[in-house]
Chain A
Amino acid sequence: DTEVTQTPKHLVMGMTNKKSLKCEQHMGHRAMYWYKQKAKKPPELMFVYSYEKLSINESVPSRFSPECPNSSLLNLHLHALQPEDSALYLCASSQVYGTGGGNQPQHFGDGTRLSIL
């Protein structure tokens, strides 16, 4: 079983809906990540949180809004998405972020398969 839990596992939403993806880890990790993965492609980094502060935003459109309420939780709020946003959204965590921690391995959840109608 994965130690990073993502909910929901599947989500279908219309372009005008507002929904949220949730991610939780209890490994004491202080870095959390959101990735987007299209079929047959590698994951693409979207956001990185380090010690609950946003450290990286990879020029992601504002219709994606991340939130880190505490060190164990990471949310991704979705609003007015486009059909091209349909993808697998993966959450990951690592002990710390960046080279200071020796580039610790990231541990991934199962992902949320998102479909935009």
Chain B
Amino acid sequence: AQKVTQAQTEISVVEKEDVTLDCVYETRDTTYYLFWYKQPPSGELVFLIRRNSFDEQNEISGRYSWNFQKSTSSFNFTITASQVVDSAVYFCALSPLSSNTGKLIFGQGTTLQVKP
């Protein structure tokens, strides 16, 4: 089965707290891509990161960091010192190579609310 699970439906934090959004995936493929998208209330999905299955290096971009662990099939996303503007729905997505379509398999999303 090809599947993405975002177990946290909603998370609420106070500004400046750190928060981690969990993403667990299932795939039979050895080659695949993982993505994170942010969807603010305006509706647009904003691309945040793409990671291929052979690159397990963690990545940091400003206050954002991603922890990819193939051993646990997880690709977690941490926001450090959260801000109100981080409030959005965050989607993790999987694109297996075997599907040969580039199709995105989305998780159900995690709604993050950052309170001032």
Contact = CB atoms under 8 A, between A and B. Distances in A.
Interface of B: 33, 35, 37, 42-47, 50, 52, 91, 95, 97, 99-104, 106-109, 111
A103 B43 contact: no
B108 A42 contact: yes
Nearest to B50: A105
Contacts, number: 64
Nearest to B102: A98
Interface residues of A, number: 28
Interface of A: 2, 31, 40-43, 45, 48, 56, 88, 90, 92, 94, 97-99, 101-111, 113
Contacts of A102: 33, 52
Contacts of A109: 44
A113 B42 CA distance: 10
